[in-house]
């Protein structure tokens, strides 16, 4: 027995278990052409959100379609160790237990981090299974797996030996909340309202003051000079003199440099080399002292005097009051500033001088620029992101790859002395010792003399190797998997990590494999709420993905998301879309029930069924071309919409109605078998989008072996088809719609037969007359040369259709009704024409308004002609 309703919850678990049991997701190198996708690895301790749902649904659609098309489909899943986010969570957990990270050794902390990861890690991958994702779970990778970490360390050593990695004392972006450096790309800039503080510095040995404008008064403790422009006549008398910093009383030189903008602020610049990148440049040029006034949490250190230990923003408020009190604050002004914030923690970034590890990018980036912007070896969809890609890569700076964290791959640099250059780089301590002995000539060195760099590598420095490393290509580039699956085919990700991840993977691909890592990059949009707002916990506008699956079924949610997901455009998510997806599931289920509910008999095939099958075959082939074109352009939403219309409109609304047997009558065997064939073709097209529903129906149609499961079925093949057949049927549907309109307007029951007379001025095909007769319940369909009197009529193009009046219609009442309607339409027409004859209106109205009025006029004229024709036929 077929259940009355589709039970998504029961079906989803059943078929996912069946797919897993039969190992359909697994891929091994063989004679087939591979189709490979690597998942953008989510944070290991993350949970499923709407962005994941969209991204992974698209990947699953691509991989399931490839499987049906005969490719050896391999979708590699995995997770990212997310060093900053994960370490922050572990530190917070330890703090809640009264444990300070700084009281632990690295090994003790890492044990806590691994415990956290093992407890909460991988949840998101289990959630992806509920969505129906057909990943090769046997290949699941984690960026901290032993082989993955070994690949990262190998890469670091290799790049260092090539002279591309170096250690430098540079101004970096310091995140005082995460207590680590960030790369330039991990800093977001946003406008914030602040103040411009005009601070008075006394000139040493006089009563004179000069005034400096700054947005950061708390940094005066780090000032080591005041700079003036040598061409600024206002300050010529100050050359060679010194100034006194308010509060601290420290004396600093007044220097000259044409870097100073005489138009900005007061024309005097306070120079704080430790806390501003431009000031650092000035400081190096003029050999100024560098004074770092901040602790790693951005509180002031001992250089801050009585403000020591206080947060920088607290000090900003308090120092304003103190400067005011001692008469050193001339004034303040409101000022809009562009402030850098951490992409991860949202903390305001602090420029800070630090010894860090950098990767030279100037030469590495060249093949990646060429691949996307010149040769099209790698294509971005939509292509408008090429401009963003160009901007980032053509303005690239050396990559700061070190992070002041413990969770992640530890930098493989080993120090054997106190000097900045007293280190070697090696993949392990044993090799490091050999190198250190060779470098120093000291054979007495032991492993105990070596200290490994405490920093970890940037998480992106591991994930940039992802498409290569998951197949072992860094450590063993000759292995079978790597040679078979690499380069991969498609990458589906968000434009927000186009530089962080996508560009860097392309760079790594050309550096390590001398070829692209993938061919196509499909960039999804952000999932927003129906008001266009970004989804967030704070706004409470982010639905629970698993709750949606429970309510609408995985297939319903997948369809709801994809119907609104055009490539690269943000998605305005409305839960009603999931309901629409669920309704589509119900429609397909009911169509299946209808077909399976028919009694089949060995009787003759009606002509209406014969032409219906021919038409639907042609329509399916036409739709198949649309689908393939949409997939080629990565317009996944358009592909689904084509299938949606084919199934809902063409299959359910037309095809099934044309072949449906009369009430309590059997269907002929030939038509039934072809109907099942058409249904199966529909299921193949739908399967990538709605895997659970389609497998359930497929398996209920007839008993199948595991080798006959839909998941490993065969995508419909393209065949030649008759375009005219489709056009002729489109015309026939208008004829049928005209009959249905008259039945509805005149209250003629569908069970009552009517006659239809046709003046075929259009010379329309008569091929679908049997279908018109069946769907219109026509007792006789005749072609005539003249208009038929005493009949209701309508037009389709130049053809006229007449339905002779029977006892069902009160002629006098119909004439009265049409006469009244004609009077109303003529009055409406007159009002429109009066407006259009008004020269002032036509001269001043917008073009679209005038066009709309002209359309009203044309529609009214057509309606009047139809009513007058109907009246003529009735008299």
Q: Where are the alpha helices (DSSP H) in 797-846?
A: 811-837, 839-844
Higher pLDDT, 421 or 13: 13
Least confident of 114-128, 559-573, 633-647: 559-573
Tokens of 276: 């501003």
Contact between 81 and 461 (Cβ < 8 Å): no
The DSSP output letter for 654 is I
Decide: helix, strand or coil at residue 79. Answer: strand
Distance separating alpha carbons of residues 9 and 577, to the nearest angstrom: 19
* pLDDT score of 632: 95
Distance separating alpha carbons of residues 698 and 685, to the nearest angstrom: 12
Q: Mean pLDDT over residues 276-286, rounded? A: 90
Question: pLDDT-derived band of residue 812, with 50, 70 and 90 as boundaries?
Answer: confident
- For 532, 560, 561, 584, the CA distances from 580, given in Å and listed in that order, are 20, 6, 10, 6
The per-residue b/e assignment along 352-362, b for 16 or more CB within 10 angstroms, e otherwise, is bbbebbbbebe
Contact between 768 and 614 (Cβ < 8 Å): no
Strand ranges (E), 385-507: 399-400, 402-403, 413-415, 423-425, 451-452, 456-457, 490-493
Phi, psi values for residue 309, rounded to 5°: 90, -10
Decide: helix, strand or coil at residue 365. Answer: coil
The per-residue b/e assignment along 668-691, b for 16 or more CB within 10 angstroms, e otherwise, is bebbbebbeebbbbbbbbbbbbbb
Distance separating alpha carbons of residues 219 and 37, to the nearest angstrom: 50
Residue 225's DSSP bridge partners are: 271
Q: 322: Cβ–Cβ under 8 A, 6 or more apart, which residues? A: 247
- For 44, 54, 57, the CA distances from 637, given in Å and listed in that order, are 29, 11, 11
Q: Mean pLDDT over residues 815-828, rounded? A: 89
Question: pLDDT-derived band of residue 467, with 50, 70 and 90 as boundaries?
Answer: very high
Token pair 């800093």: residue: 187
Which sign, positive or negative, has the C-alpha torsion 546, 552, 553, 555? negative
Contact between 131 and 460 (Cβ < 8 Å): no
Tell me: pLDDT of 568 over 70: no
Q: Where are the alpha helices (DSSP H) in 305-400?
A: 312-325, 366-373, 385-394
* pLDDT score of 867: 83
Q: Mean pLDDT over residues 741-757, rounded? A: 91
Give the angle subtended at the CA of 377 by the CAs of 566 and 364, to the nearest 5°. Answer: 110
- For 34, 73, 482, 488, the CA distances from 31, given in Å and listed in that order, are 9, 12, 15, 17
Question: pLDDT-derived band of residue 591, with 50, 70 and 90 as boundaries?
Answer: very high
Q: Mean pLDDT over residues 748-760, rounded? A: 93
Least confident of 136-145, 523-532, 607-616: 523-532
CA 710 to chain centre: 28
Distance separating alpha carbons of residues 795 and 812, to the nearest angstrom: 23
Distance separating alpha carbons of residues 108 and 664, to the nearest angstrom: 77
pLDDT digits (tens, 9 = 90+) for 162-197: 999 999 888 889 999 988 888 787 888 898 999 999
Helix (H) or strand (E) holding 782: strand 778-783
Tell me: pLDDT of 789 over 70: yes
Tokens of 661: 């047997």
Residue 197's DSSP bridge partners are: 214, 332
Q: Compute the CA torsion angle 611, 613, 618, 624 (nearest 10 deg).
A: 160
Tell me: pLDDT of 344 over 80: no
pLDDT > 70 in the chain, percent: 99
Residue 358's DSSP bridge partners are: 166, 400
Question: pLDDT-derived band of residue 250, with 50, 70 and 90 as boundaries?
Answer: very high
* pLDDT score of 40: 96
Q: 88: Cβ–Cβ under 8 A, 6 or more apart, which residues? A: 177, 178, 344, 345
pLDDT digits (tens, 9 = 90+) for 25-44: 999 999 999 999 999 999 98
Distance separating alpha carbons of residues 534 and 538, to the nearest angstrom: 11
Token pair 């997948």: residue: 558
Average pLDDT, the chain: 93
* pLDDT score of 814: 77
Q: Judging by beta carbons within 10 Å of its beta carbon (0-12, 13-18, 19+), is residue 186 exposed, middle or buried? A: buried
Q: What is the DSSP string of 109-132?
A: HHHHHHHHHHHHTTHHHHHHHHHT
CA 377 to chain centre: 22
Q: Where are the alpha helices (DSSP H) in 746-791?
A: 769-776
Which sign, positive or negative, has the C-alpha torsion 596, 602, 604, 610? positive
Tell me: pLDDT of 563 over 90: no
pLDDT digits (tens, 9 = 90+) for 429-463: 999 999 999 999 999 999 999 999 999 999 999 99
- For 90, 654, 859, the CA distances from 242, given in Å and listed in that order, are 50, 92, 87
Token pair 């004829």: residue: 735
Helix (H) or strand (E) holding 762: none
- HSE of 838, CA atoms in CB hemisphere, 13 A: 12
Helix (H) or strand (E) holding 147: helix 146-161
Give the angle subtended at the CA of 644 by the CAs of 641 and 650, to the nearest 5°. Answer: 125
The DSSP output letter for 652 is I
Which sign, positive or negative, has the C-alpha torsion 723, 725, 728, 733? negative
Question: pLDDT-derived band of residue 623, with 50, 70 and 90 as boundaries?
Answer: very high
pLDDT digits (tens, 9 = 90+) for 721-731: 999 999 999 99
Question: pLDDT-derived band of residue 556, with 50, 70 and 90 as boundaries?
Answer: very high
402: nearest Cα among 666, 722, 167: 167
CA 568 to chain centre: 7
Decide: helix, strand or coil at residue 76. Answer: strand
Residue 780's DSSP bridge partners are: 755
Tell me: pLDDT of 601 over 60: yes
- For 144, 499, 566, 611, the CA distances from 571, given in Å and listed in that order, are 33, 22, 8, 41
Contact between 411 and 447 (Cβ < 8 Å): no
Distance separating alpha carbons of residues 788 and 866, to the nearest angstrom: 14
pLDDT > 90 in the chain, percent: 76
Phi, psi values for residue 748, rounded to 5°: -90, 115
Helix (H) or strand (E) holding 352: strand 350-359
pLDDT digits (tens, 9 = 90+) for 519-555: 999 999 888 888 888 876 667 788 889 999 999 999 9
The total number of residues written for the chain in this structure: 875
> Model's pTM, two decimal places?
0.84
Tokens of 508: 């790594």
* pLDDT score of 773: 97
92: nearest Cα among 57, 116, 71, 60: 116
Contact between 128 and 135 (Cβ < 8 Å): yes
* Residue 43: how many other CB atoms lie within 10 Å: 16
Tell me: pLDDT of 872 over 80: no
Q: 518: Cβ–Cβ under 8 A, 6 or more apart, which residues? A: 378, 467, 487, 488, 489, 490, 491, 505
Distance separating alpha carbons of residues 135 and 127, to the nearest angstrom: 12
* Residue 815: how many other CB atoms lie within 10 Å: 14
């Amino acid at each position: 027995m077929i259940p009355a309703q589709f039970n998504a919850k029961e079906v989803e678990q059943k078929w996912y278990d069946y797919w897993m049991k039969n190992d359909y997701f697994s891929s091994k190198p063989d004679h087939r052409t591979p189709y490979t996708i690597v998942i953008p690895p989510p944070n290991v301790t993350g949970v499923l959100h709407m962005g994941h749902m969209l991204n992974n649904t698209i990947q699953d659609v691509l991989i399931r379609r490839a499987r049906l098309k005969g490719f050896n489909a391999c979708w590699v899943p995995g997770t990212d160790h997310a060093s900053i986010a994960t370490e922050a969570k572990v530190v917070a957990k330890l703090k809640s237990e009264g444990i300070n990270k700084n009281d632990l050794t690295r090994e003790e902390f890492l044990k806590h981090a691994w415990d956290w990861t093992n407890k909460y890690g991988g949840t998101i991958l289990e959630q992806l299974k509920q969505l129906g994702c057909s990943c090769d779970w046997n290949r699941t990778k984690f960026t901290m797996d032993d082989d993955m970490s070994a690949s990262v360390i190998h890469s670091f050593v290799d790049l260092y030996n090539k002279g591309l990695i170096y250690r430098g004392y540079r101004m970096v972006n310091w995140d005082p909340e995460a207590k680590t450096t960030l790369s330039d790309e991990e800093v977001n800039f946003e406008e914030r309202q602040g103040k411009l503080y005009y601070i008075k510095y006394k000139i040493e040995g006089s009563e004179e003051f000069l005034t400096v404008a700054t947005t950061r008064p708390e940094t005066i403790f780090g000032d080591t000079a005041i700079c003036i422009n040598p061409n600024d006549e206002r300050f010529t008398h100050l050359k060679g003199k010194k100034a006194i910093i308010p509060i601290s009383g420290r004396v600093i030189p007044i220097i000259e440099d044409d870097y100073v903008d005489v138009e900005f602020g007061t024309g005097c610049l306070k120079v704080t080399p430790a806390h501003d990148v431009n000031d650092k440049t000035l400081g190096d040029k003029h050999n100024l002292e560098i004074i770092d006034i901040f602790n790693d949490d951005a509180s002031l250190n001992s250089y801050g005097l009585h403000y020591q230990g206080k947060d920088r923003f607290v000090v900003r408020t308090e120092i304003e009051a103190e400067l005011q009190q001692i008469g050193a604050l001339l004034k303040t002004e409101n000022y809009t500033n562009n402030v850098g914030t951490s992409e991860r923690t949202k903390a305001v970034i602090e420029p800070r001088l630090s010894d860090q590890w950098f990767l030279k990018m100037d030469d590495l980036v060249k093949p990646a620029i060429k691949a996307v912007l010149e040769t099209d070896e790698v294509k971005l969809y939509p292509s408008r992101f090429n401009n963003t890609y160009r901007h980032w890569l053509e303005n690239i700076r050396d990559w700061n790859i070190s992070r002041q964290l413990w969770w992640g791959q530890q930098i493989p640099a080993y120090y054997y002395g106190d000097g900045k250059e007293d280190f070697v780089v090696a993949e392990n301590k044993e090799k490091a010792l050999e190198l250190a002995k060779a470098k120093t000539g000291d054979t007495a060195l032991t492993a105990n003399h070596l200290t490994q760099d405490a920093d970890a590598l940037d998480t992106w420095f591991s994930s940039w190797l992802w498409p290569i490393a998951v197949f072992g290509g860094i450590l063993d580039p000759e292995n079978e998997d790597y040679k078979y699956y690499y380069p991969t085919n498609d990458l589906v990700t968000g434009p927000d990590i186009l530089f962080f991840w996508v560009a860097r993977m392309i760079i790594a691909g050309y550096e390590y494999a001398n070829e692209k890592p993938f061919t196509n990059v499909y960039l999804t949009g952000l999932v927003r709420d129906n008001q266009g707002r970004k989804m967030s916990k704070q706004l409470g506008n982010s639905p629970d993905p698993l709750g949606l699956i429970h309510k609408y079924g995985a297939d319903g949610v997948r369809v709801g998301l994809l119907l609104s997901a055009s490539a690269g455009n943000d998605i305005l998510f409305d839960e009603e879309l999931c309901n629409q997806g669920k309704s589509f599931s119900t429609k397909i289920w009911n169509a299946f029930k209808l077909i399976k509910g028919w009694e089949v008999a060995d009787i003759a095939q009606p002509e209406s069924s014969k032409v219906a099958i021919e038409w639907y075959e042609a329509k399916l082939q036409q739709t198949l071309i649309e689908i393939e074109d949409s997939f080629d352009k990565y317009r996944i939403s358009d592909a689904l919409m084509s299938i949606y219309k084919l199934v809902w409109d063409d299959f359910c609304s037309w095809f099934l109605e044309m072949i449906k047997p009369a009430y309590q009558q059997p269907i002929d065997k030939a038509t039934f078998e072809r109907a099942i064939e058409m249904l199966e073709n529909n299921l193949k097209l739908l399967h990538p989008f709605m895997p659970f529903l389609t497998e359930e129906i497929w398996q209920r149609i007839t008993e199948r072996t595991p080798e006959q499961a839909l998941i490993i079925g065969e995508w419909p093949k393209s065949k030649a088809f008759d375009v005219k057949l489709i056009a002729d049927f489109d015309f026939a549907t208008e004829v049928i719609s005209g009959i249905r309109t008259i039945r509805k307007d005149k209250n003629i029951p569908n069970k009552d037969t009517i006659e239809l007379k046709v003046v075929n001025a259009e010379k329309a095909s008569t091929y679908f007359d049997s279908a018109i007769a069946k769907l219109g319940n026509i007792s006789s369909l005749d072609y005539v040369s003249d208009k038929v009197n005493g009949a209701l009529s309508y037009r389709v193009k130049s053809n006229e259709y007449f339905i002779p009046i029977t006892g069902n219609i009160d002629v006098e009442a119909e004439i009265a009704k049409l006469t009244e309607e004609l009077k109303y339409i003529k009055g409406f027409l007159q009002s429109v024409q009066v407006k259009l004859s008004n020269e002032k209106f036509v001269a001043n109205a917008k073009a679209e308004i005038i066009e709309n009025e002209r359309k009203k006029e044309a529609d009214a004229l057509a309606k009047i002609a139809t009513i007058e024709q109907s009246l003529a036929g009735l008299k």
